[in-house]
Amino acid sequence: MANAMSQQTVGGTLQLLSNSGTHCNVGNRSVLLLPKGFKLKVEFSKRGIYSSGKRKFNVIQASTSQTSVVGPLLAPSSSDTLDSHMKSNEVALILIRHGESLWNEKNLFTGCVDVPLTNKGVEEAIEAGHRISNIPVDMIYTSSLIRAQMTAMLAMTQHRRKKVPIILHNEDERARAWSKIYSEDTIEQSIPVITSWKLNERMYGELQGLNKQETADKFGHEKVHEWRRSYDIPPPNGESLEMCAQRAVAYFRYNIEPQLLSGKNILISAHGNSLRSIIMYLDKLTSQEVITLELSTGIPMLYIFKEGKFIRRGSPVAPTEAGVYAYTRVCNFLSAFLLICHGPV
């Protein structure tokens, strides 16, 4: 291994400042055991892969273009839960784009049309649940659309606490009375789920229900790309990303952020454009940066909310506290033995 490895990134560099260490094999992976005192500097990169000579280091991506963390990095095994590693002034914010829907599968513009998940979407939601199964969740927010609600519910079936997500019905007095729970013990074992149309996908107007390829053939690829990816140009009688951001970010700031400030751990299950809008707010992205942000279906993204600031952690890699908190442990426990698993050249 080279004495030093350095890859320029958007936020800084990744540097390995020693050639000491021992290689061994774990399954089909080559593993480097790093001794005490080894210095490692890790920062985020838009590029997705750090390399040194012929070696390439894998990253876990929460989106296909913008967000990545170095991984999988595993701290020494521990039976402790992730909760015990979260400081009292830290809370978790989890964002999940719904799994694949039936109209995703058919390549149709969906927008605010209410369609369910495919079998693949169900599997993606369950896998998302595995990834967040050790992260505490106190409240869930979803859009009013079934694909986002299905994703949240299926994900929570995998959670280690086994609490039951229950959709709150506040439409009117009768809805509140009829859905009231009278057991304190049952309430303790439940997670409130709040739905809002303000977290819906952006409304695609006259494109909803149209095949994306056929629409591009009819109106031209450049025009359709403008409708889909520009920040402030809406499709005919629809919403632009800017318009979607106005409602989604306002809802987040005035409804969800106060819950985080009160110490609640929050899961948001929503859509590509409503979540892009929220990420734009969390990461302080420009209108040009956000239009290049792509979120994969069913891949959760973890933020830590601490002292009024949002710290992006990327996507949890496994139902272990080591996987979720790999980046934190690299920063805080440089004296620990770390395993850096790399893939094929």
pLDDT at 246: 97
| Residue at token pair 């094999």 | 25
| Catalytic residue from among 85, 98, 159, 271 | 98
Residue 335 lies in a domain: no
343 in a known ligand binding site = no
| H-state helical runs in the chain | 102-105, 119-131, 146-156, 173-178, 184-188, 212-219, 221-229, 241-251, 257-261, 272-283, 287-290, 321-324, 326-332
pLDDT tens series, the chain, 345 aa: 444 333 333 333 333 343 444 444 434 444 444 444 444 444 433 333 333 333 333 333 333 333 332 222 223 333 344 554 555 689 999 999 999 999 999 999 999 999 999 999 999 999 999 999 999 999 999 999 999 999 999 999 999 999 999 999 999 999 999 999 999 999 999 999 999 999 999 999 999 999 999 999 999 999 999 999 899 999 999 999 999 999 999 999 999 999 999 999 999 999 999 999 999 999 999 999 999 888 899 999 999 999 889 999 988 875 554 444 443 343 334 334 434 444 433
272 in a known ligand binding site = yes
Residue 114 lies in a domain: yes
By C-alpha distance, which of 90, 114, 91, 89 is closest to 101? 114
161 in a known ligand binding site = no
Residue 49 lies in a domain: no
Residue 65 lies in a domain: no
Residue 206 is a catalytic residue: no
Q: How many CB atoms lie within 10 A of CB 199?
A: 28
Residue 341 lies in a domain: no
101 in a known ligand binding site = yes
253 alpha carbon, distance to own chain's centre: 18
Residue 226 lies in a domain: yes
Token representation of residue 323: 């996987």
| Catalytic residue from among 124, 201, 239, 321 | 201
Question: DSSP for 33-61?
Answer: EPPTT--EE----SS--EEETTEEE-EEE
102 in a known ligand binding site = yes
> CB within 8 A of 227, min separation 6: which ones?
207, 233, 234, 235, 238
pTM for the whole thing? 0.71
Q: Is 143 left (phi over 0), alpha (psi -120 to 50) or beta?
A: beta
97 in a known ligand binding site = yes
pLDDT at 198: 98
Residue 201 is a catalytic residue: yes
Residue 21 lies in a domain: no
* Contact call for residues 316 and 74 (beta carbons, < 8 A): no
Residue 26, classified by CB atoms within 10 Å of its CB into exposed (0-12), middle (13-18) or buried (19+), is exposed
CATH code assigned at 130:
3.40.50.1240
Residue 11 lies in a domain: no
204 in a known ligand binding site = yes
Which residue type does 20 have? Answer: S
130 in a known ligand binding site = no
The number of domains in the chain is 1
| Residue at token pair 């409602």 | 247
Token representation of residue 326: 């790999």
pLDDT at 82: 52
Sign of CA dihedral 237, 242, 245, 250: negative
For 130, the domain range is 91-306
